[in-house]
Amino acid sequence: YTGKTGAELLGDKVKHITVKHYQSRPIVVQESASVYDAIVTMFLEDVGTLFVVDKQTTLVGVLSRKDLLRASLGKQALESIPVSIIMTRMPNITVCQRDDLITEVAKKLIDKQIDCLPVVTEVDFGSGFEVIGRITKTNITALLVDLANDEVI
Ligand code: ADP
């Protein structure tokens, strides 16, 4: 018997859970895509955040629902606005890696007041990030349910 309280045991468990256990598939659009295309992709893929990549598939931007709503308030035709002019761009993107703790991700989501982080790997040191996943508040809610049902490894 370790003499640990329930809360300590729960804490120990949570501190072993990493991004790779709860991440989802990333949905990306090209930086040349229009705001119209991005809205269609967001509906078809049923996600709240899209990642924008260049031709080399390097992460260059993030698009949220409100970014696309804001762009839709203007008078300009949505087919004529490239996502690259409205997205949040590198280096202002908060990212995580597959071996990061889920608690670090939760803290970043709260501190930055955002819904989603891209899971990335670094491509040849310094030349940018490749997007390999997506982690959202929904993934973290799934972890909470697993914890409550004692289904965490
Ligand atoms: P919404 O804007 O739909 O409420 P978010 O709260 O996730 O969704 O996004 C708020 C703002 O932060 C948006 O302008 C979005 O582009 C930006 N954003 C979203 N995710 C990230 C991220 N991982 N890193 C940096 N900026 C982000």
* Amino acid identity, position 81: I
Provide CB contacts within 8 A for 109, sequence distance 6+. 115, 116, 117, 137, 140
Domain chopping of the chain, boundaries: 17-148
60/2 Cα distance (integer angstroms): 48
Is the CB of 94 within 6 Å of ligand 1?
yes
Question: pTM value?
Answer: 0.94
Instruction: Decide whether any atom of ligand 1 lies within 6 Å of the 62 Cβ.
Output: yes
Distance from residue 7's CA to the centre of ligand 1 (Å): 32
- Residue pLDDT, tens place only, 14-31: 999 999 999 999 999 999
Query: pLDDT above 70 covers what percent of the chain?
Result: 99
Domain topology for 17-148: CBS-domain (3.10.580)
Q: Which residue pairs from 123-127 have beta carbons closer than 8 angstroms and sit at least 24 positions apart in sequence?
A: 123/58, 127/58
User: How many whole angstroms separate alpha carbon 39 and alpha carbon 54?
Assistant: 18
Q: Kindly report, residue by residue over 113-143, the tens digit of the pLDDT.
A: 999 999 999 987 778 999 999 999 999 999 9
Q: Which helix (H) or strand (E) holds 121?
A: strand 116-122
